[in-house]
Amino acid sequence: MRLSDLLRADVLDPNGENVGQIHDVRLVKDGLDQGLFGPAYRVQGLVVGVGAWGSRLGYDRGGMKGPYPLKKLFQWFHGDAKFVEWSHVTGIGDNVVHVDMAKEELPAVPMLRQ
């Protein structure tokens, strides 16, 4: 499987409701050892949202600091993106990913910096 097979795929919840598209794939460096690189990057989860422009600029992730007018504008357009832990992925089809959590239950995307 390629990363591009996941990016822009639609995410459907158990009710068949479209949660949005996969904007990014979150990785954590704690997988199997890969020689010189050390622990592999394993997939932690999926960043899912409805708007693409704000996502490309990082405005769909919690904690984005500004500029304030842009932050509010993209929030109004897209709302905050949702985060799907990989353990909630139940199936991968052709340009579609099925998850076992309802859209309303999915958490916001955690910040990448503390």
Partner 1 sequence: MGEPLVNETGGRIIDAGTHLLDRQISDKDGELVGKVDDLELTFPEGGAPGASPPFVSAILAGPGALGPRLGGGVGRVVSGTHAILHPSTRPGPARIAFGVVTKVAANVELAVSRDELDVVRVENWVREHIISKIPGAQHAPQ
User: Which stretches of the chain bind partner 1, using CB under 8 A?
Assistant: 1-4, 6-7, 23-32, 34-37, 39-44, 47, 58, 86-92, 100, 110-114
Q: Measured between alpha carbons, how far is 98 from 19 in angstroms, rounded to an integer?
A: 10
Of the two residues 73 and 111, which places its CB atom closer to partner 1 in the complex?
A: 111
Q: For 108, which DSSP code?
A: B
Minimum CB separation of residue 66 from partner 1 in Å reads: 13
Minimum CB separation of residue 4 from partner 1 in Å reads: 4
Q: Measured between alpha carbons, how far is 51 from 17 in angstroms, rounded to an integer?
A: 16
Helix (H, G, I), strand (E, B) or coil at 16: coil
